[in-house]
Amino acid sequence: MRILGLDPGLATVGYGVLDCTEGALPVVRDYGIVSTSPKSSFPVRLAAIYEDIGSLFVTYRPELVAIEKLFFYRMGNTISVAQARGVVLLCAAQHAVHYVEFSPPQVKLALTGDGRADKQAMQLAVQRELELATLPRPDDAADALALALTSWFQRFATSGSAAAMPFSSNRRAITSATTRSGVEAPAVTPTVTGP
Protein backbone atom coordinates (compact mmCIF):
# COMPACT_ATOMS: atom_id res chain seq x y z
CA MET A 1 0.00 0.00 0.00
CA ARG A 2 1.31 3.43 -0.90
CA ILE A 3 0.54 6.11 1.70
CA LEU A 4 0.98 9.83 1.19
CA GLY A 5 1.38 11.73 4.45
CA LEU A 6 0.55 15.44 4.26
CA ASP A 7 1.16 18.14 6.87
CA PRO A 8 -0.76 21.14 5.50
CA GLY A 9 0.13 24.78 5.90
CA LEU A 10 0.07 27.92 3.80
CA ALA A 11 3.83 28.59 3.82
CA THR A 12 4.80 24.92 3.59
CA VAL A 13 3.05 21.61 3.08
CA GLY A 14 5.13 18.68 4.23
CA TYR A 15 4.79 15.43 2.34
CA GLY A 16 6.08 11.90 2.81
CA VAL A 17 5.49 8.88 0.58
CA LEU A 18 5.75 5.36 2.03
CA ASP A 19 5.31 1.97 0.39
CA CYS A 20 4.01 -0.38 3.05
CA THR A 21 3.68 -4.16 3.04
CA GLU A 22 2.48 -6.22 5.98
CA GLY A 23 5.37 -7.79 7.85
CA ALA A 24 8.00 -5.53 6.28
CA LEU A 25 9.57 -2.20 7.04
CA PRO A 26 7.89 0.66 5.12
CA VAL A 27 9.99 1.93 2.24
CA VAL A 28 10.44 5.69 1.95
CA ARG A 29 9.81 6.74 -1.66
CA ASP A 30 10.13 10.48 -1.17
CA TYR A 31 9.65 13.27 1.33
CA GLY A 32 10.00 17.02 1.35
CA ILE A 33 8.00 20.21 1.31
CA VAL A 34 5.93 22.26 -1.06
CA SER A 35 6.49 25.93 -0.26
CA THR A 36 4.79 29.15 -1.25
CA SER A 37 6.14 32.67 -1.31
CA PRO A 38 4.83 35.08 1.34
CA LYS A 39 5.13 37.77 -1.35
CA SER A 40 2.44 36.08 -3.45
CA SER A 41 -1.23 36.79 -2.96
CA PHE A 42 -3.28 34.35 -0.90
CA PRO A 43 -5.15 32.89 -3.92
CA VAL A 44 -1.87 32.44 -5.82
CA ARG A 45 -0.38 30.57 -2.86
CA LEU A 46 -3.40 28.24 -2.68
CA ALA A 47 -3.17 27.65 -6.44
CA ALA A 48 0.52 26.74 -6.09
CA ILE A 49 -0.31 24.24 -3.34
CA TYR A 50 -3.06 22.76 -5.51
CA GLU A 51 -0.73 22.32 -8.49
CA ASP A 52 2.20 20.91 -6.53
CA ILE A 53 0.17 18.54 -4.37
CA GLY A 54 -1.80 17.46 -7.45
CA SER A 55 1.48 16.53 -9.12
CA LEU A 56 2.38 14.35 -6.12
CA PHE A 57 -0.88 12.44 -6.61
CA VAL A 58 -0.10 11.95 -10.30
CA THR A 59 3.52 10.94 -9.71
CA TYR A 60 3.06 8.58 -6.75
CA ARG A 61 -0.56 7.41 -7.11
CA PRO A 62 -1.18 6.91 -3.38
CA GLU A 63 -3.83 4.50 -2.16
CA LEU A 64 -4.36 6.39 1.09
CA VAL A 65 -3.66 9.90 2.37
CA ALA A 66 -2.84 10.58 6.01
CA ILE A 67 -3.39 14.21 6.93
CA GLU A 68 -3.07 16.23 10.09
CA LYS A 69 -6.39 17.05 11.68
CA LEU A 70 -6.93 20.74 12.22
CA PHE A 71 -5.75 21.49 15.72
CA PHE A 72 -6.57 24.86 17.34
CA TYR A 73 -3.40 25.76 19.17
CA ARG A 74 -2.30 28.81 17.20
CA MET A 75 -5.32 30.93 16.37
CA GLY A 76 -3.27 33.37 14.26
CA ASN A 77 -2.80 30.91 11.42
CA THR A 78 -5.72 28.51 11.87
CA ILE A 79 -7.80 29.95 9.02
CA SER A 80 -4.96 29.93 6.48
CA VAL A 81 -3.98 26.37 7.50
CA ALA A 82 -7.64 25.30 7.19
CA GLN A 83 -7.81 26.75 3.69
CA ALA A 84 -4.56 25.06 2.63
CA ARG A 85 -5.87 21.83 4.15
CA GLY A 86 -9.04 22.20 2.08
CA VAL A 87 -6.94 22.43 -1.09
CA VAL A 88 -5.09 19.24 -0.11
CA LEU A 89 -8.38 17.43 0.55
CA LEU A 90 -9.71 18.64 -2.79
CA CYS A 91 -6.71 17.01 -4.49
CA ALA A 92 -7.43 13.74 -2.66
CA ALA A 93 -11.09 13.85 -3.72
CA GLN A 94 -10.22 14.61 -7.34
CA HIS A 95 -7.90 11.60 -7.42
CA ALA A 96 -10.48 9.39 -5.63
CA VAL A 97 -8.12 8.66 -2.72
CA HIS A 98 -9.50 8.04 0.76
CA TYR A 99 -7.91 9.84 3.66
CA VAL A 100 -7.47 9.44 7.40
CA GLU A 101 -6.93 12.26 9.87
CA PHE A 102 -4.85 12.33 13.03
CA SER A 103 -4.37 15.12 15.56
CA PRO A 104 -0.78 16.00 16.54
CA PRO A 105 -1.15 14.31 19.99
CA GLN A 106 -2.39 11.11 18.31
CA VAL A 107 0.65 10.98 16.03
CA LYS A 108 3.02 11.71 18.91
CA LEU A 109 1.42 9.01 21.03
CA ALA A 110 1.58 6.45 18.23
CA LEU A 111 5.27 7.03 17.49
CA THR A 112 6.77 7.88 20.87
CA GLY A 113 4.27 6.74 23.49
CA ASP A 114 4.01 10.36 24.65
CA GLY A 115 1.20 12.56 23.31
CA ARG A 116 3.25 15.64 24.21
CA ALA A 117 6.57 14.65 22.59
CA ASP A 118 8.66 17.47 21.14
CA LYS A 119 9.84 17.83 17.52
CA GLN A 120 13.22 16.24 18.25
CA ALA A 121 11.62 13.15 19.79
CA MET A 122 9.29 12.85 16.80
CA GLN A 123 12.11 13.14 14.28
CA LEU A 124 14.12 10.52 16.17
CA ALA A 125 11.10 8.19 16.22
CA VAL A 126 10.56 8.58 12.47
CA GLN A 127 14.27 8.03 11.83
CA ARG A 128 14.26 4.89 14.02
CA GLU A 129 11.07 3.39 12.60
CA LEU A 130 12.11 3.95 8.97
CA GLU A 131 15.79 3.16 9.60
CA LEU A 132 16.88 6.45 8.03
CA ALA A 133 20.57 7.35 8.12
CA THR A 134 19.80 10.93 9.22
CA LEU A 135 16.98 12.81 10.88
CA PRO A 136 14.25 13.65 8.36
CA ARG A 137 14.18 17.38 7.68
CA PRO A 138 12.63 19.87 7.40
CA ASP A 139 10.15 19.52 10.28
CA ASP A 140 7.09 19.59 8.02
CA ALA A 141 8.44 16.68 5.96
CA ALA A 142 9.22 14.72 9.13
CA ASP A 143 5.67 15.39 10.34
CA ALA A 144 4.28 14.10 7.03
CA LEU A 145 6.31 10.89 7.33
CA ALA A 146 5.04 10.56 10.93
CA LEU A 147 1.45 10.89 9.69
CA ALA A 148 2.00 8.19 7.06
CA LEU A 149 3.59 5.89 9.66
CA THR A 150 0.74 6.46 12.11
CA SER A 151 -1.74 5.54 9.43
CA TRP A 152 0.18 2.34 8.68
CA PHE A 153 0.44 1.45 12.37
CA GLN A 154 -3.29 2.07 12.77
CA ARG A 155 -4.03 -0.49 10.05
CA PHE A 156 -2.23 -3.14 12.12
CA ALA A 157 -3.98 -2.09 15.33
CA THR A 158 -7.39 -2.50 13.74
CA SER A 159 -6.58 -5.60 11.66
CA GLY A 160 -5.28 -7.66 14.56
CA SER A 161 -1.93 -8.14 12.79
CA ALA A 162 0.17 -6.23 15.32
CA ALA A 163 2.35 -9.28 15.95
CA ALA A 164 3.57 -9.08 12.37
CA MET A 165 4.88 -5.54 12.75
CA PRO A 166 8.67 -5.44 12.26
CA PHE A 167 9.04 -2.10 14.00
CA SER A 168 11.02 -0.91 16.96
CA SER A 169 10.12 -2.27 20.36
CA ASN A 170 10.53 1.27 21.71
CA ARG A 171 7.19 2.32 20.24
CA ARG A 172 4.17 1.91 22.47
CA ALA A 173 0.98 0.18 21.44
CA ILE A 174 -1.05 2.42 19.20
CA THR A 175 -4.30 1.87 21.02
CA SER A 176 -2.84 3.05 24.33
CA ALA A 177 -4.73 6.05 25.68
CA THR A 178 -2.26 7.09 28.38
CA THR A 179 1.09 8.79 27.88
CA ARG A 180 4.26 7.96 29.82
CA SER A 181 3.47 10.83 32.15
CA GLY A 182 0.11 9.24 32.98
CA VAL A 183 -1.85 12.05 31.31
CA GLU A 184 -4.84 10.93 29.31
CA ALA A 185 -4.39 11.34 25.57
CA PRO A 186 -6.62 10.39 22.70
CA ALA A 187 -6.21 6.86 21.40
CA VAL A 188 -5.21 6.65 17.77
CA THR A 189 -8.65 6.41 16.25
CA PRO A 190 -8.55 8.27 12.97
CA THR A 191 -11.35 9.88 11.10
CA VAL A 192 -11.67 7.95 7.85
CA THR A 193 -13.33 9.60 4.92
CA GLY A 194 -13.07 9.70 1.19
CA PRO A 195 -14.80 9.96 -2.13
CA 33 distance to own-chain centroid: 13
**C-alpha triplet 105, 140, 40: angle, nearest 5°:** 125
Q: How far apart are CA 162 and CA 66, in angstroms?
A: 19
Does the annotation list 68 as a binding residue? Answer: yes
CB contact at 8 A, 17 and 2: yes
Q: Which H or E run includes 80?
A: helix 78-94
140 is in an annotated binding site: yes
Q: Which residues pair with 32 in a beta bridge?
A: 15
Q: How many angstroms separate the CA atoms of 48 and 9, rounded?
A: 12
Catalytic residues: 7, 68, 140
The reply to whether 118 sits in an annotated binding site is no
β-bridge mates for residue 6, sequence order: 15, 67
Please tell me the distance from the alpha carbon of residue 49 to that of residue 129, in angstroms, as a whole number: 29
The DSSP secondary structure of 140-153, one letter per residue, reads HHHHHHHHHHHHHH
Q: How far apart are CA 109 and CA 107, in angstroms?
A: 5
Please state the residue numbers annotated as binding site for Mg(2+).
7, 68, 140
Question: Binding site membership: which residues?
Answer: 7, 68, 140
